[in-house]
Chain A
Amino acid sequence: MRAIMGRLFLWFWVTFILTAALAVWGSRLFFHELEVGAASDREIHELSKVRERLEEPRGWRGPLPMLLDRSARNMSYRVIAFDFAEKRLIHGPGMPLPRGAFKDIQGIANQSVPLSIKRGALSFIGPIQYDRGGKNYAVFLAKFNSPEDKYQPFVYFFIVALITTTLLSWLFAKSLTRPIIRVQRSARSLASGNWKERIQESDIRNDELGKLARDFNSMADQLEKLWNGQQRLLADISHELRSPLARLQMALGLAHQQNIDSATLDRIDREAQRMEALIKQLLDLSRVESGKREYQNYRLPLLLQDILTDAQFEAANRNKVLDIDEIPSIDIQANGVLLCRAIENVLRNALRYSRYQTRISFEVTENHWSVCIQDDGEGLSTAECERIFAPFYRASLARERESGGVGLGLSIAKAAVDLHDGSIKATPNQGTGLSVTLTFPLGQ
């Protein structure tokens, strides 16, 4: 349980420490250099001006710091003095000097020629020798360099800190989100009906996310088992119903033979036939839903040849017309039996509900091919169009019984289409009637 939390904590902590360390190291790098050069003419001039001011007030009995300050008025420099005897820096009120400054000053306090030294943000110009009250001093001009100089190190640190923290944070975030995305992707695949989806053992780590992955896999196992169990139950029930129904039919036959009340027998007959049709469709549906994605290569016109011929035959029997557009001569990968079943079911539906004319047309795009079946019947509302693929849905109960359907044809079609990773959609026509389009991906 502690693994990710521990890691998160450690990560932030390490990033912080690392950045701070880099900053300190960087600062040491930056401030190490001491630049020494000869004082420029202008700087010497300024020095002289200060010397004049320092020697000017005879009988000045005030403290040295104040004198130093006064001598620096209207100048962009401060004035500081190095006390040889006491070995300390004297300066007026104001910002204290960094510790490193003392060493630098001490180093050049004995110089006879004024120098200009610069370290980091500070510059010193001097020395000039000065006596007062029996003591020896080396006087310097001190200046903080231009704001850019002053801030330059900070900019440097900021950039370094930014880069390191960004890099480290990104790496860590990535390492967390990658497994999360994998779980998410697998969940989506599972939800879309791919019951065999699992997260590979090799991808699983030994932390909370790893546990999540393993739990996901066991959940998927359960779901797959449930699904298969349900399929098996459906198939078993349908199979078990066959025997009693067969006997029922046979008894009916005998009753007919013995000329028992024919009208009642006919009614029993009809119901028996309905049960028969239902069982057949149930078995069909369960078989399609548990169908394997084993595809073969087919040339589309050849594959559809038989069912289209039969459909035209059936149309003729119903005194209706079926127009067949040219079938694109493409090669497809499909489970031939199931694909034909899907198209057949939609076609027969259309023929059943059309008033006079049904039309089947095809379309091929770069990644898909689709078949569209339109009838000129009464059509359906948009809401109904969503629902008709659910098992046993019937738009109008009375109409369905007349036409002899049992309500599973479109469910079977949809299951077959799903098996091919395709899609099926019903839309009402502009005028009257319904259009059903089956779309399939091209190429694997």
Chain B
Amino acid sequence: MNHYVAELSTMVSSTTLPSVLIIDDDTELTEMLSTYLHGAGYKVNIRDDGQAGLSEAISGEKYDLILLDVMMPKLDGFEVLKRLRVSKTTPVLMLTARGDDYDRILGLELGADDYLPKPFNHRELLARVKAIFRRQAISANNTSTEQDIMVDDVLLSPSRQFVSVNGQEVALTSSEFSILRLLMLNVGQRVTKEDISQKVLGKPLQAFDRSIDMHVSNLRKKIASVNPTEKIKTIRGVGYMLQSSL
């Protein structure tokens, strides 16, 4: 009985409407965005400065996704992200400044799951949002069926959305989590970048897009902070592979 209830509560967010929090100071834009996402079947809340957005994200209702703008008064997007990640693993999609590499790299390093430069194509935005929700749904659905995976000293628990290396917990974004899971499920085998792009980010692989490389690089760094041995191998022109000492 308890098991059934536990299952139900973790599956709640996948059966009710996914909820989105938009933190952005451009009120005209957020109004339209809110209507748009609502039309796509999501629940939407808006906060128009970083401070208010942060407090809503932390102590408000449970959100399935946060759309976070970078340039805001009082508290900018990076600060919000940094402070959010102290206590929450809510997926964050950063709306960065167009043409600024620095912005998106910093965002991904701080723990954003994905980024989208403004101005963005509305279809692109929707696709990314859906991809994130799909990831969430997959991990939610897999809680009952999927076992914990262990490769060498890396433990990945889909049911608890938890990763540890050598017994020490490592906080990963949902993108990083999904990538690691994919690599671990295919340990010793190549995983192509196309695969990662489709299964994790929910979009076909685009040339000259460095976001997957960025996620893998972050993943490596986080694992290396506990165990410096190289685990994830880059295969030139193809993708990545998780190595096992066995």
Contacts and interface: CB of A to CB of B under 8 A. Distances in A.
A252 B122 contact: yes
Interface size class of B (residues with CB under 8 A): 20 to 34
A284 interface: yes
Interface stretch (A129-137, A161-169, A238-246): A238-246
Given A246-B118, A252-B122, A253-B122, A344 B32 contact: no
B99 A254 contact: no
Interface residues of A, number: 37
Nearest to A348: B208
Contacts of B28: 247
Interface string A219-249: 0000000000000000000110011011111
A310 B36 contact: no
Contacts, number: 79
Given A246-B119, A279-B99, A313 B32 contact: no
Contacts of B100: 283
B119 A276 contact: yes
B237 A312 contact: yes
Interface in A233-289: 238-239, 242-243, 245-254, 256-257, 272-273, 276, 279-280, 283-284, 287
B35 interface: yes
A337 interface: yes
B153 interface: no
Contacts of A348: 208
Contact of A249 (B26, B122, B207): B122
Nearest to A305: B236
A256 B122 contact: yes
A283 B98 contact: yes
Contacts of B98: 242, 276, 279-280, 283
Given A306-B213, A311-B207, A313-B207, A257 B39 contact: yes
A317 B119 contact: no
Contacts of A250: 29, 32-33, 36, 122
Nearest to A252: B122
10 contacts: A243-B118, A247-B29, A251-B32, A253-B36, A253-B123, A254-B35, A254-B39, A279-B99, A280-B98, A306-B210
Interface of A: 238-239, 242-243, 245-254, 256-257, 272-273, 276, 279-280, 283-284, 287, 305-307, 309-314, 317, 337, 344, 348
Given A246-B29, A253-B32, 7 more contacts: A239-B97, A242-B119, A246-B119, A247-B28, A249-B121, A287-B99, A309-B237
